[in-house]
Amino acid sequence: MPGLLELDAAALAAASLDVAHEVLAAAGPVEAVGVTAQRASTVAWSSTTGDPLGPALGWQDLRTAGTCLELQAEGLRLSPNETATKAAWLLDTYDPDRSPATRIGTVDSWLVWTLSGGGSHITDLSNAGVTGLVADEGRGWREDVLDRLRIPHGALPAVVDSSGWLAEATALPGRPPVCGIAGDQQASLMGQGCTRPGMAKATFGTGGMLDMCLGTNRPTFDHRGAAGTFPIVAWRRDSRVTWGVEGMMLAAGSAVDWLVEDLAILPSAAESEAVAAGCDDTGGVIMVPALLGMGTPQWDFGARGAVLGLTRGTGRAQLTRAVLEGVAHAGADLVEAAEADTDIPIERLRVDGGMTANAVFLQALADACDRPVEVSRELEATTLGAGYLAGLAVGTWGSDEDVAAAWAPKNTVEPVRTADRDGWRAAVDRARQWYPELTALQF
């Protein structure tokens, strides 16, 4: 059904264990383990059997949107992509009596529970911070939300640092310690060496995320800045919080998938580079990739995708390039929003994610942002970031500065032409408020 996104938590845990065993068999013992996973996706399981109570709910699952609106009317502001209402739905559906054996956690909690053989039920602050449940910078849980949603304290994980001796991976050979935990975007920020204030990275996968490090300075806004970014805990080490802001686009690589799976004008997403390179420009075509609405900076769930400027001269190459350039323009919007909300300039943008294998997209991004774009050597820098956090705990790296100094981009893309930002903004205005009743929804 539309709006529903479920995960098989048991299969996820089994696959993670299989990969870990394969890596250890091939590479030998390790000093520490790092864990990173998508944030806010929620699992409920039995501490007695170790089995999930039912399907996990993915962070994009919208089945609790109505509950969030009801809670807003009561003065509790929660988003359907946070954990809080997902946890309540899972409990109401699979454990209405709230058994003391039930555990609730995000994917990182579930993986650490699995790795530790049920010995540790923990989460780090970067994951806890996007649940809608944490209060006081991780020093407690929100009593008002727990009471309203009937979420027992005992079901929730302990909130720990992102780096340190956190658990023992008894399910792995050698029983190495788990020494790093972070949400995927925060891990990518660390993985790309963005540990100094003002450094920023963007990840372009199915959607797009921009994260900017602020150091120990907490953002001046609690929910969302005027330009549409929101505060995050980047990580916590030695009980000291590093803050950041994040901006989100709801469709990035999925817009390319639209060309492949729905329009069938490309055999694969990888072919988009060669096809788009078949023309010098889009011939005036602008594509707004608002296929699921708009995130930062507009936050318009009623917006919809738009293709403007079509002529008889528009072909497959022009439309493909327009999609890539549209995602690039949306990425530039994220950069501008972070700068506006923090009053800190982003001099260079670091990038990872599947779309960064596409040279046409990278050039369009550099042009739209009008600044150099540094491309990560690791397509998925989240894994490297989890490794850095674990390595910091055991002394492989001595400090955040050592991590920053380790950054060496695969290549740097410089801007070469002036992007039509005014035309982009005009196209965005036309794509907005297509469904006014959805535009009115604000979380």
Q: Are residues 366 and 334 in the same domain?
A: yes
Question: Given 149, 182, 215, which residue is the final one in a domain?
Answer: 182
pLDDT at 3: 75
Whether residues 229 and 96 share a domain: the answer is: no
pLDDT mean over 220-243: 94
Give the list of residues 6+ apart from residue 118 with CB closer than 8 angstroms, or none: 47, 50
Domain boundary among 182, 216, 237: 182
pLDDT of 6-20, one tens digit each? 999 999 999 999 999
* pLDDT digits 0-9 by tens, 286-337: 999 999 899 999 999 999 999 999 999 999 999 999 999 999 999 999 999 9
Distance CA 134, CA 82 (A): 11
Of residues 125, 124, 114, the one with CA closest to residue 168: 114
- pLDDT recorded at residue 285: 98
Is the pLDDT at 136 greater than 90? The verdict is no
Q: Is residue 382 a part of any domain in this protein? A: no
- The pLDDT tens digits for 257-292 are 999 999 999 999 999 999 999 999 999 999 999 998
pLDDT at 92 over 90: yes
pLDDT surpassing 80 at residue 386: yes
pTM comes to: 0.94
- For residues 62 and 203, membership in a common domain is answered with no
Taking phi over 0 as left and psi of -120 to 50 as alpha, with beta for the rest, 40 belongs to left
Kindly state whether residues 155 and 221 are assigned to the same domain: no
**Rounded Cα–Cα distance for residues 271 and 302 (Å):** 31
Boundary (domain end) residue, out of 156, 182, 208: 182
Residue 408 scores a pLDDT above 80: yes
Question: Could you list the residue range(s) of the whole structural domain that residue 14 is in?
Answer: 6-182
Check pLDDT > 80 for residue 203: yes
Domain shared by 302 and 348, yes or no: yes
Asked whether residue 80 falls in the same domain as residue 162, the answer is yes
Total tally of structural domains belonging to the chain: 2
Lowest average pLDDT, out of 135-149, 216-230, 248-262, 307-321, goes to 135-149
Q: Is 317 within 8 Å of 276 (Cβ atoms)?
A: yes
Per the CB < 8 A criterion, the answer to whether 373 and 413 are in contact is yes
Across all residues in the chain, what is the average pLDDT? 96
pLDDT at 2: 66
Residues 122 and 249 in one domain: no
CATH number reported for the structural domain that contains residue 144 in this entry: 3.30.420.40
User: Which pLDDT score, from 0 to 100, does residue 443 have?
Assistant: 83
Specify the pLDDT at position 392: 98
Do 264 and 119 sit in the same domain of this protein? no
Percent of the chain whose predicted confidence (pLDDT) is above 90: 94
